[in-house]
Amino acid sequence: ELARRNFWWSSLAQDAARFVQQCDDCQRSKPLSGKQAGLLQPLPIPVAPWESVSLDFVVGLPPSEGGNDAVLVMVDRLTKMVHLAPTTTSVTAEQTARLFFDNVVRLHGIPKSVISDRGPQFGGKFWASLGDLVNVRVNLSTAYHPQTDGQTERMNRTFGDMLRTYAGSNPRAWDTFLSAAEFAMNNAVNRSTGQSPFFLNYGFHPAIPLARELDVPAPAAKAFVRSYNDRMDEAKHLLEAAQQHTTEYYNRGKKETTFKPGDSVLLSTKNLRQLATGPRKLLRRWVGPYPVKRMVGQAAAELVLPSNMRIHPTFHVSLLRPYRAAPDTSVTNGSNISSGNPGTSPDGPPPVDWLNNEPLYSVERILDYHARRIGKKRKRLVHEYLVKWKGYSSDQNSWEPAQNFTPDLIPDLEAARARARGRCEDAAS
């Protein structure tokens, strides 16, 4: 519209649309409109209890008196029985495997598959070698896309609500209520199966004080077996129906997105955690482009990533967008100057570096220092430094806390504090 006010040629609209589509800054900075790409790919329903187990962590809990601040949630994908194990956010792959064996393998045997997101707890060499050793096929969900592990996510919400109820008056003792929460969840009827996890695992409901007082009679053996088999079959049918309903609802109005090997795509930074060496506002919505190596199933693609970007290379298509490169319109004219459409080539700040799967930014200069108190009673003292970022204009300068800097910048931080201290002494004299 702006171009049409002052110019006209026969293909103006098409050229303007193409120009916008090929704008490098626009592709990296603007969100995708409309629904997320990719269809929901449901996992097959297990045949027997504890044949397939989903794992996830609930983190961000207040530190308990026992030193725990996280919970490992283990769910049988068929019966929906759950086991809860208190742990810490710094739990290692080896410790995770030990929790899994103590809470699942000890009671139910070794599953055929384990479903989880690709968090650091499952990506270590120990977990992979342990899986090979005991013949467990670690069937991880697509990196950073939890739809295939949605049941554990829903279980986490239920568990969180229950934990707040139990431990509301004593939040530092929340880990002492896990056994009660686990029992209540396993004794409750699951909406997907129509039965309680206890019944589908053992064929009977657990005794509770009221049942003991009423002296409820046990069913005859043949009737018991017949009833158990019927209810297990019914639970599987209900699971299939619930899964089909969820898939149809999620995929409504969506088109299947696919890429070919060699296609250039941008990767969403939504789930790429930022190491504290740069302000979040500098991180583009999309990074890349990266070539597609191959499609993994119908809804994920494996990318060719830089070696310093230590992250699993497989991503759900909802985290990818096609990259439209502008055609090379450079004209040499006897010089090395390249003339092209402004904004259609990546001429912005220098590329982001990566460390341990997280983007890093380069500090050009430490400009200033101050200290301020934060918190409800202003008891916590925070030391902050004003940073000029390399490749960015001064209006992108930002105050960053001391822990946001790598060790090699310590001399610059100390120099900034010394300058600030000198100004205060001069002002006082």
End-to-end CA distance of the chain: 62
Rounded (5°) CA angle 171-172-174: 65
Where in the chain are all domains bearing CATH 3.30.420.10?
52-250
Number of Cβ within 10 Å of residue 112's Cβ equals 15
Is the distance from CB of 69 to CB of 88 less than 8 angstroms? yes
Q: How far, CA to CA in Å, does 42 sit from each of 97, 149, 393?
A: 26, 9, 47
Give the pLDDT confidence score for residue 336 in this predicted structure: 32
Cα dist from 380 to 40, 303, 374, 383, 405, whole Å? 46, 44, 5, 10, 19
Q: What is the fold, at CATH topology level, of the domain defined by 362-428?
A: OB fold (Dihydrolipoamide Acetyltransferase, E2P) (2.40.50)
Q: What is the spatial distance between Cα 58 and Cα 89, in angstroms, rounded to a whole number? A: 9
Supply the pLDDT for residue 335: 33
Q: How far apart are CA 119 and CA 149, in angstroms?
A: 13
pLDDT tens-digit profile, the chain (429 residues): 555 656 666 777 777 776 666 665 555 555 565 555 555 556 778 888 998 888 888 877 788 888 898 899 899 988 889 999 999 988 887 788 889 889 998 899 888 878 776 554 455 555 676 677 677 666 554 443 445 545 555 666 667 666 766 666 677 888 888 888 888 888 888 777 788 888 888 887 777 655 555 555 555 555 555 555 665 666 666 556 655 655 555 556 556 667 888 888 888 877 665 433 444 444 567 777 889 998 877 778 888 887 666 667 888 887 888 887 766 544 444 333 333 333 333 433 444 555 544 556 778 889 999 988 876 677 778 888 888 877 677 777 788 888 777 777 888 888 888 888 888 777 776
Backbone torsions φ then ψ of 293, nearest 5 degrees: -85, -45
Within the chain, all domains assigned CATH 2.40.50.40 are found at: 362-428
Helix (H) or strand (E) holding 365: strand 363-374
pLDDT at 82: 92
Give dist(CA 24, CA 13) in Å, integer.
19
Give the C-alpha separation, 41 to 39, whole Å: 6
pLDDT recorded at residue 85:
94
Closest CA to 264 of 286, 283, 285: 286
DSSP assignments along 186-207, one per residue = HHSPPTTTSS-HHHHHHSSPPP
Residue 394: the pLDDT is: 76
Structure-token pair, residue 95? 């410790």
Q: Which fold has domain 52-250?
A: Nucleotidyltransferase; domain 5 (3.30.420)
